[in-house]
Structure 1
């Protein structure tokens, strides 16, 4: 275990699918400038990543973004994009070619769903991370993947 993993086991456990009752929030420094957030989560490149129980997380998300978490997730499902496996970035579906200058993740809301073989697809393969991101261009988008496939998120959307 690395020093980073031992310091922030909640993030590692969440990304492994081991915390289905929790949610993860990434808030970019460019979106929220409140140094107190670091007290509640992990300071990551470009922002803060917080893992907290679902109810508190949804409330924190609404307080930070002014939008209800489930309302945001529903709107983000209209566009498939790529959310980085560490939840601290992504690729907006509106990014033209390699020009990402106007497309930076402002925030991410994520939760895990436990394996459900009855549903089929990626749900039958294991737990599923659902991640929803807001781009600086205004587009909200979604991604989902099995934690074991976290090195290649975005590939399971067709399932």
Structure 2
């Protein structure tokens, strides 16, 4: 038995993407067949192409276009990918709950410098219930 989310967060699934879909955003019990039930939703880890297609099907948004737009604002995405802190919210209020997260990991790249030279990097992009999209990133070592 494997734990896809733990493997993803450990940098062992660099070709995969992770999706968190809040139950308040997508109410489809079938999602549990593909992912892990967590407090408030489901985390799904699948190969990149299937993940991007699943993201589009669940959110109506192209995953890479969403990531591109979310990069404009930094926020905090939980290291377990199942939530975050909207940069527009003074506290973790209900109207600022995460609706969904899209994440991928990038292999360590010493030539790029900075955080990328330290280890594999998780890139996470979130959409808040208020409509704000934001991004976060961290090294796999930081989330261990």
| Short-chain TM bin | over 0.9
CA contact (8 A) 2:85 2:92 kept: no
Q: 2:73 & 2:67 partners in 1: Cα distance?
A: 11
Alignment of 1:10-159 (within 5 A): 10-96=4-90, 98=91, 100-150=93-143
| Segment of structure 1 superposing worse, 100-109 or 80-89 | 100-109
TM-score, L = length of structure 1: 0.88
Question: How far apart, CA to CA, are the structure 2 residues paired with 1:92 and 1:70?
Answer: 20
CA distance in 2, matches of 1:90, 1:61: 18
Unmatched 5+ stretches in structure 2? none
Q: What are structure 1's unaligned runs of at least 5 residues?
A: 1-5, 152-159
Aligned residues: 144
Following TM superposition, the consecutive aligned residue runs of length 4 or more in structure 1 with deviations greater than 4 angstroms are none
Residues 110-129 of structure 1: CA distance to partner in whole angstroms, max 9, x if unpaired?
00000000000000000000
Q: CA deviation at 1:101?
A: 2.8
